[in-house]
C-alpha cells in the first residue's frame, strides 16, 4: 500500500492546457476514482503518476518520496490500460510473467539456450511460475494460462491484464478505463470483481472513468474533473447529496438533476417558478437562484398542494422497478423528470395534469454562476451522512 500526493500539477500539449494546478492526495489503501467527461485530463493525470508523461509543473510523491526523477519501472506502480495491452503472440502465462521476468532476470538469463546454464535462473523461473499461478488462481483464470489473448473473452482478457499488474505486488494500481470495452452486463459483473479485488489486496487503487456508475459503486472517494480542473473530491454519497457546484451536480446522477429558476423569497422560503418551497437559503431575499431537484425528490400526484409544481405529462418511461415521468412545467423550457415506483406507471397518462411535490430537505441551491448556496435542510442532511 502507498499514499500518493499530487501538488500543483500543470500540463499543456502545445497551446492546449490539459491540467491546471491539480492538487490531490490519495490515501494509503484507498480506491480513488478520477471521474470526468472525455478530454478533461484524467488519463493524462494518471499517466503522470505512472511516469509515462512528464508534467510541466508540480510534483508527484509516493509514500512521501518524490518520484518525478524516476523512470516508470522505478516507481513501483502497475498500470492497466483500456486496451488491456496484452501481447497477442504470448500466452496468458507469458503475459502475466513478463513483469517478473524483466525485473528479476538478467538479459543473459532470459536467453532460451544460454539462460539454462546461468546460475540461479532455474530457481528464479520456478519462483515466477509459482507467483503467476497463485495470482491466476485468485482471478479464476488458472485454466486459461496456456491460451493466447485472441482465445479469451473480454472479461478473461481483463482478468489477464489485472493479473499481469498483480504479480509483482506494486505499491499502487493505476487503471485507465479498464471496463469500457466490455458489454453492459459484463461491466456490472467486473465492477463487483474489482471492488472485491481491492478489498482482498488492501492496495491503493487510482481508477479513471467517464462512467459515474463505476465511480459511485466501487470508490472510497471520487475526484470529479472537468476541463483540466479538479472540482471536488468526496465520498460517493457526499458527492451526490452535497455537490460543491452546479457542474458537479449536473454531472453526477442519472437521470441528470432537474435545474429550475428560482429566487430567495424570504429567510425561510424560496420561490421556484410560481411555487413557494420551505427552504431557508443562505442568501438575501431577492437573490436569483438555480434550484436543483433530483428525480427521486419529486413526488408525483394528482392532488395539488401548497408546495407542488403543476405540469403536463409528456412521456412515461416504465423500467419495471422504476417509472420516470417527463413533465412539462410552465415557465421552464426543459421537461422535469420525476421518479416513482414502476407499479404506478398506469396512473399517469400523456397530456394529463400532474403535481410534483419536492422534498424540501433535498433541494440544492446555486447562484447564477453555479456556486453552491447553503440551505438549512442540506446542512442537516450532511450531518446525518457524517
pLDDT digits (tens, 9 = 90+) for 354-377: 999 999 999 999 999 999 998 864
* CB-count burial class (<10 Å; 0-12, 13-18, 19+) for 329: buried
Residue 355 pairs in a beta bridge with 301, 310
Whose CA is closest to 86, among 27, 148, 24?
148
**293 pLDDT higher than 80:** yes
Q: Are 53 and 45 in contact (CB under 8 A)?
A: no
For every residue of 191-259, DSSP letters joined together read HHHHHHHHHHHT-EEEEEES-HHHHHHH-SEEEEEETTEEEEEE-HHHHHHS-SBHHHHHHSSSSPPEE
* CB-count burial class (<10 Å; 0-12, 13-18, 19+) for 119: exposed
Q: Are 174 and 50 in contact (CB under 8 A)?
A: yes
Q: Are 251 and 226 in contact (CB under 8 A)?
A: yes
Q: What is the pLDDT of residue 119?
A: 64
Q: Which residue has the higher pLDDT, 137 or 109?
A: 137
Contacts of 180 (CB under 8 A, 6+ apart): 82, 209, 210, 211
Q: pTM of the entire structure? A: 0.87
Average pLDDT value for the chain: 90
Q: Is residue 201 very low, low, confident or very high in pLDDT (cuts 50, 70, 90)?
A: confident
For residues 18 and 41, give the distance between their C-alpha atoms in angstroms, rounded to a whole number.
Answer: 6
Helix axes 154-166, 184-201, angle to 10 degrees: 20
Q: Are 166 and 201 in contact (CB under 8 A)?
A: yes
Helix (H) or strand (E) holding 135: helix 121-138
Q: Are 285 and 265 in contact (CB under 8 A)?
A: yes
- Which residues in the chain are classed under CATH 3.40.50.300? 4-241
For residues 263 and 290, give the distance between their C-alpha atoms in angstroms, rounded to a whole number.
Answer: 8
Interior/surface letters 18-51, b for 16+ CB within 10 angstroms, e for the rest: bbeebebebeebbbbbbbbeeebbbbbbbbbbbb
- Which residues in the chain are classed under CATH 2.40.50.140? 255-385
For residues 8 and 284, give the distance between their C-alpha atoms in angstroms, rounded to a whole number.
Answer: 36
Q: Between the CA of residue 369 and those of 110, 227, 246, 372, what are the distances in Å?
A: 61, 17, 9, 9
DSSP code at position 335: P
Q: What is the pLDDT of residue 187?
A: 85
Mean pLDDT in residue range 306-316: 92
Q: What is the pLDDT of residue 385?
A: 43
Q: Is residue 104 very low, low, confident or very high in pLDDT (cuts 50, 70, 90)?
A: low
For the chain, give the number of residues: 386
Nearest 5°: the CA angle 137, 185, 223 is: 85
The CATH code of the domain at 255-385 is 2.40.50.140
Give the lowest-confidence range in 41-45, 67-71, 158-162.
158-162
For residues 385 and 236, give the distance between their C-alpha atoms in angstroms, rounded to a whole number.
Answer: 11
Give the lowest-confidence range in 123-137, 233-247, 289-303, 307-321.
123-137
Q: Are 24 and 230 in contact (CB under 8 A)?
A: yes
For residues 9 and 26, give the distance between their C-alpha atoms in angstroms, rounded to a whole number.
Answer: 14
Whose CA is closest to 269, among 250, 291, 297, 249?
291
Q: Does domain 4-241 have CATH number 3.40.50.970?
A: no
Mean pLDDT in residue range 190-208: 91
For residues 237 and 189, give the distance between their C-alpha atoms in angstroms, rounded to a whole number.
Answer: 22
Residue 275 pairs in a beta bridge with 272
Whose CA is closest to 178, among 200, 151, 150, 197?
197
For residues 359 and 332, give the distance between their C-alpha atoms in angstroms, rounded to a whole number.
Answer: 19
Q: Map grid coordinates 431577492 to a residue.
A: 286
For residues 260 and 37, give the distance between their C-alpha atoms in angstroms, rounded to a whole number.
Answer: 24
DSSP code at position 61: E
Percent of the chain residues topping a pLDDT of 90: 69
Q: Is residue 294 very low, low, confident or very high in pLDDT (cuts 50, 70, 90)?
A: very high
Amino acid at each position: 500500500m502507498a499514499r500518493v500526493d499530487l501538488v500543483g500539477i500543470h500540463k499543456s500539449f502545445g497551446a492546449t492546457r490539459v491540467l491546471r494546478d491539480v492538487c490531490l492526495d490519495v490515501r494509503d489503501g484507498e480506491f480513488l476514482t478520477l471521474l470526468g467527461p472525455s478530454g478533461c485530463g484524467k488519463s493524462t493525470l494518471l499517466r503522470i503518476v505512472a511516469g509515462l508523461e512528464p508534467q510541466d509543473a508540480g510534483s508527484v510523491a509516493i509514500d512521501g518520496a518524490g518520484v518525478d526523477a524516476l523512470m516508470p519501472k522505478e516507481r513501483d506502480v502497475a498500470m492497466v490500460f483500456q486496451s488491456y495491452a496484452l501481447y497477442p503472440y504470448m500466452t496468458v502465462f507469458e503475459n502475466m510473467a513478463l513483469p517478473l521476468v524483466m525485473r528479476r532476470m538478467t538479459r543473459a538469463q532470459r536467453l532460451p539456450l544460454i539462460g539454462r546454464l546461468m546460475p540461479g535462473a532455474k530457481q528464479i523461473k520456478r519462483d515466477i511460475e509459482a507467483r503467476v499461478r497463485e495470482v491466476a488462481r485468485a482471478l479464476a483464470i488458472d485454466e486459461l494460462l496456456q491460451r493466447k489473448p485472441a482465445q479469451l473473452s473480454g472479461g478473461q482478457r481483463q482478468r489477464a491484464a489485472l493479473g499481469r499488474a498483480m504479480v509483482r505486488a506494486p505499491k499502487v494500481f493505476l487503471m485507465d478505463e479498464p471496463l469500457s470495452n466490455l458489454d453492459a452486463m459484463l461491466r456490472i459483473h467486473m465492477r463487483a470483481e474489482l471492488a472485491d479485488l481491492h478489498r482482498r489486496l488492501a492496495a491503493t487503487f487510482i481508477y479513471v472513468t467517464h462512467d459515474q456508475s463505476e465511480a459511485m459503486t466501487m470508490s472510497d472517494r471520487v475526484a470529479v474533473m472537468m476541463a483540466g480542473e479538479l472540482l471536488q473530491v468526496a465520498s460517493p454519497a457526499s458527492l451526490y447529496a452535497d455537490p460543491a457546484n452546479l457542474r458537479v451536480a449536473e454531472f453526477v446522477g442519472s437521470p441528470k438533476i432537474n435545474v429550475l429558476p428560482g429566487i430567495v423569497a424570504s429567510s425561510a422560503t424560496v420561490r421556484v417558478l410560481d411555487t413557494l418551497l420551505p427552504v431557508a437559503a443562505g442568501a438575501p431575499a431577492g437573490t436569483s437562484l438555480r434550484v436543483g431537484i433530483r428525480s427521486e425528490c419529486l413526488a408525483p400526484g394528482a392532488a395539488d398542494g401548497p408546495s407542488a409544481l403543476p405540469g403536463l405529462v409528456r412521456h412515461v418511461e416504465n423500467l419495471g422497478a422504476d417509472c420516470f415521468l417527463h413533465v412539462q412545467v410552465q415557465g421552464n423550457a426543459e421537461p422535469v423528470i420525476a421518479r416513482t415506483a414502476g407499479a404506478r406507471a398506469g396512473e399517469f397518462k400523456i397530456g394529463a395534469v400532474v403535481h410534483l411535490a419536492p422534498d424540501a430537505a433535498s433541494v440544492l441551491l446555486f447562484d447564477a454562476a453555479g456556486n453552491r448556496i447553503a440551505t438549512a435542510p442540506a446542512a442537516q442532511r450532511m450531518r446525518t451522512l457524517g
